[in-house]
Structure 1
Amino acid sequence: MKGYTKPLLVIFLVLLADQALKTWIKTNMYLGQEFKIIGQWFIIHFTENNGMAFGMEFGGEFGKLALSLFRIAAVGGIGYGLHYLIKHKYHRGLILNVALIFSGALGNIIDSVFYGKIYGYETWFHGRVVDMLYFPIAEGHFPSWIPIWGGDEFVFFRPVFNLADAAISVGVILILIFQKNYFKEDVKDDVSINSEIVED
C-alpha cells in the first residue's frame, strides 16, 4: 500500500464531503430553494441536472444511460491511470491531483447510478446529479454592439455546481499550472538516455 495512502485519503475525504453535502441538500431543501452565504456572491441553490458537469446536459433517456455508462468507463480509466502513476512513482502532486479528478468523477457517478432509486424518482443509472454551489460574482448586460448577445444579461459565474465538480476542476487546473514540475524528471531521464546513446 506504499504510495496509496494519501491518494486514497484524498478520494475518501472528497467523496465524504461531496455526498454528505448532497444528502443534506436532498433531505433538507426543496428543488429551487436557495439561501445566501456571503451576500449576493455565494449562494446555496438546490438544483439537479441530468447531464455533465456544471449543469450541461446530454439529452433523452438513452442519452442519460449512455452518459452514466460513459462516466463509469471514464472513472475506470482514471482509476487505472492513478494506479499506474503511483506504481511508477510519478510526482506526488500529479498523483494527488489525479486523485482529486477521480474522486470528483466518482462522486457524480454515485448520483447518476444510485440517486434515482434511492430517492424514488427513477431507475438505476438514471439519477440526477445534485448541484448547489452558486457564485454570481458579477452581473450586467453585454454591450449592444456585440453580435448575437448584444444587450443580453450575463452572469459570471452562472453555472451551479457541486464539490465533485470543484474537485475535478481544481485537479485539472493544478495539473495545467504545474505540469512542468510534474514531468520535468521524466524529461531529464529521456535526455540522459539519449545522451548515453549518442556517446556510445
Structure 2
Amino acid sequence: MSQRKTVLIILIILLVDQISKIYIKTHFLINEDISVFSWFKIAFVENDGMAWGTKLSDFIPSISDRNAKLILTLFRIFAVTGIAFWLRDVLKKRKSKTLIFAIAIIFAGALGNIIDSVFYGILFSDSAMEVATFLPETGGYENLFHGKVVDMLHFPIWSGILPEKLPFFGGTYFSFFDPVFNIADMAISTGIGILIVFNKRAFKDSNELVVNS
C-alpha cells in the first residue's frame, strides 16, 4: 500500500471520528440518547478513563483522578508515537498491505481519541447542564490534557433475564452489549482484529516475531 493511500485512510477515519464527536458534543446533553433501531442507539457519554470507563486511580488509590487522567493522556501520546514509527517503518520496508492497513487504522483511532483527551477540555464548555458550545467565551470545561473522550455508539442488542437452568448466572438480568464507543474505538478494535485473524497474511515475509494462530 502506498504512503498516499495510507495517509488518505488515516485522514478519512479522523474526519469521520471528529465530525461525529463534535456534532454529538454540540447537539446532545450528556447521557441524552436517541433510538435509531431497537438494537442501536445514539447515546452521548463521556469517558474520562480507559476502556470500559475504568480509571488508573481505580487500581492505584493513592493517585488522584486528575493525575490519573494526565498520566493516561501522556501514555496515549507515547503509545501513538510508537505506532507512528511502526507505521513509518512498515511503509518504508514495503510490508504487506494487510499489515499497513491494520496499523494505519489503529493509529488513526488512537490519534482520534488523543485529540479528545488533549484538546476537548479547552475547546468545549461542559455538557452537564446544557448543550456544549465550541470555543466558549468563559473558557472550556477543563485544562489542556484533561479532556474527556466523546462516545456515542450504543448497541443494546439484547437484554433480559437469563434462564434459571443456566449455571451460575441463571435468573439474573443480562444486557448485551452495554459499552458505548466511538468511530476511533471501532478503528482500533478492527485493526487489532485484523492482526489477530489475518496474522499470517499481515506478517508475510516479515522478519518480525509472529505468534502463529
Q: Normalization by structure 2: what TM-score? A: 0.81
Match in the other structure for 1:23: 22
Match in the other structure for 2:12: 13
Asked if 1:94 corresponds to 2:99, the answer is yes
**Residue among 165, 188, 195 paired with 1:168:** 188
Give percent identity, aligned residues only: 47
Asked whether the 8 Å contact 1:50–1:58 carries over to 2, the reply is no
Q: Tell me, which stretches of 5 or more residues in structure 2 are unaligned?
A: 58-64, 125-139, 208-213
Asked whether the 8 Å contact 2:154–2:178 carries over to 1, the reply is yes
Asked whether the 8 Å contact 1:25–1:46 carries over to 2, the reply is yes
Asked whether the 8 Å contact 1:130–1:162 carries over to 2, the reply is yes
Deviation at 1:157, TM superposition (A): 1.1
Which amino acid is 1:48 matched to? E
Choose between structure 1 and 2: higher helix proportion.
Answer: 1
Match in the other structure for 2:89: 84
Deviation at 1:116, TM superposition (A): 0.6
Superposition CA RMSD, Å: 1.7
Match in the other structure for 2:135: none
SS in 1 for 2:94: coil
CA distance in 2, matches of 1:55, 1:100: 22
CA distance in 2, matches of 1:23, 1:128: 12
Q: What does the per-residue CA deviation read over 1:102-126, in whole Å, with 9 as the maximum and x for residues that have no partner?
A: 0000000000000011111110100
Q: What does the per-residue CA deviation read over 1:6-42, in whole Å, with 9 as the maximum and x for residues that have no partner?
A: 111111000000000000001111111111112x201
Deviation at 1:127, TM superposition (A): 0.4
CA distance in 2, matches of 1:141, 1:56: 26
CA distance in 1, matches of 2:83, 2:94: 16
Q: Tell me, which stretches of 5 or more residues in structure 1 are unaligned?
A: 188-200
Match in the other structure for 1:192: none
Give the aligned length: 184
Q: What does the per-residue CA deviation read over 1:79-109, in whole Å, with 9 as the maximum and x for residues that have no partner?
A: 0000011011110111011000000000000
